[in-house]
Amino acid sequence: MMPIKLRINTKTKQYPIIIGSNLSSKISKIINENSINFKQCLLVVDTNVSRKIISKIKKSLNKNKKIIYFFDASEKNKNLNSVNKILDVLLKKNFSRDDCVISIGGGITGDIVGFAASLFKRGLKFINMPTTLLSQVDSSIGGKTGINTKYGKNLIGSFYQPNLVVSDIQFLKTLPKREIICGYGEILKHAIIANKKFYNFLDKNYKKILNLSSPFIEKAIYESCKIKKSVVEKDEKEKGLRKVLNFGHTFAHAYEASLGYSNKLNHGEAVILGIQTALRFSLENNLLKQNEYHSIINHISKVELPSEIKEYFKIRDLNKILLFMSKDKKNNTDKINLILLNKIGFPIINKQYGKNYLSTFLKNELRN
């Protein structure tokens, strides 16, 4: 199957997203075809990435001066210290603005590297090679970069668009099923907020997608990227419409932070739980019809996605969850801003609720 190409056109930058198999061995050619020139590049590589594929990338870039820096990607390492270490390498090796940094890893690596690129001499060329399904369909697109702090997730960061995104399906074949499930959660989110036809495609073909069967996995990634592209192009800096992409994320980020970003619940799983919480909240507040709610919940059940927050939390965790929800970056009052759902393809933004109201709802969720 030929590579699929999308082009993102924002006010700050235009760049291509290329989706296909065995692209890593052709990375030098892809870079040249897209007129990205540099004297030297820093490859920041997630330690979990297949060494076999890294060897192919190195071989392809054999004419370029390159430095490889391995990064132990985890939510706990998604911090300012990790960014400083990358900046230190760039400074020691005398990189210029005309050089390049390449992220090879999942969403955590991309966020860290993108943030470092935005800071270094006020902007360094940045190529993103996402290696997880979640990062290929979500975090590699749109220019959000950032780090975690003790106060919450992604509260420090920048909007910095890459020069190129290359999504190689071969990376996905090296991942455990848990990581594929996590990426599927973001694909499902995009379908729920934007496209009933795409949702029906997922409902019919989810087994083939989870098995990474071609052309179903390529179509799922492409359609997901296309939805995010349409939103980001209209609202690059998240002033309004782009908030729809955070459907389920206010709950999800609070769940992750409450567990101290442990491996018990990773980002994709938290998003899946957050989506379900947002769906039930939408239903209970008469925003979402029963038939739409049950359609999505039945799909989640069929796919065997994480489904119960009470498997991870007790009522004693409630205050901690609400504290992190109150610190969410979408809030601009003392109330908590949620993205909810009217029906598939029709999200609702800027619905605000008090802590006491949410506390009662979440308490019932943890009891039932």
pLDDT for 152 equals 86
Give mean pLDDT, residues 265-293: 95
Q: What string of DSSP letters covers 106-150?
A: SHHHHHHHHHHHHHGGG--EEEEEE-SHHIIIIITSS-EEEEEET
pLDDT at 332 over 80: no
pLDDT for 304 equals 87
pTM above 0.85, yes or no: yes
* pLDDT tier, 67 (very low <50, low <70, confident <90, very high otherwise): very high
Q: For the segment 9-65, what is each residue's pLDDT rounded down to a tens digit?
A: 999 999 999 999 999 999 999 999 999 999 999 999 999 999 999 999 999 998 788
Paired with 343 in beta bridges are 346
d(CA 165, CA 159): 16
Query: In sequence order, what E strands does 222-329 have?
Result: none
**C-beta of residue 255 within 8 angstroms of C-beta of residue 49:** no
Give mean pLDDT, residues 299-316: 91
Q: For the segment 179-209, what is each residue's pLDDT rounded down to a tens digit?
A: 999 999 999 999 999 999 999 999 999 999 9
Q: For the segment 287-306, what is each residue's pLDDT rounded down to a tens digit?
A: 999 999 999 999 999 998 88
User: Taking all residues of the chain, what is their mean pLDDT, rounded to a whole number?
Assistant: 94
Is pLDDT larger for residue 321 or for residue 333? Answer: 321
Strand pairing report for 100-105 and 40-46: parallel
**C-beta of residue 338 within 8 angstroms of C-beta of residue 250:** yes
Classify each residue of 176-197 as buried b or exposed e, where b means 16 or more C-beta atoms within 10 Å of its C-beta: eeebbbbbbbbbbbbbbbbbee
Question: Domain 4-172 is of which CATH architecture?
Answer: 3-Layer(aba) Sandwich (3.40)
- Name the token pair of 164: 């190129």
Please indicate whether the domains covering 4-172 and 177-367 agree at the CATH topology level. Answer: no
Q: What are the domain boundaries of the chain?
A: 4-172, 177-367
pLDDT at 333 over 80: no
- CATH of 177-367 among 3.40.718.10, 1.20.140.10, 1.20.1090.10, 3.40.309.10: 1.20.1090.10
* pLDDT tier, 255 (very low <50, low <70, confident <90, very high otherwise): very high
Element (H, E) at 272: helix 267-284
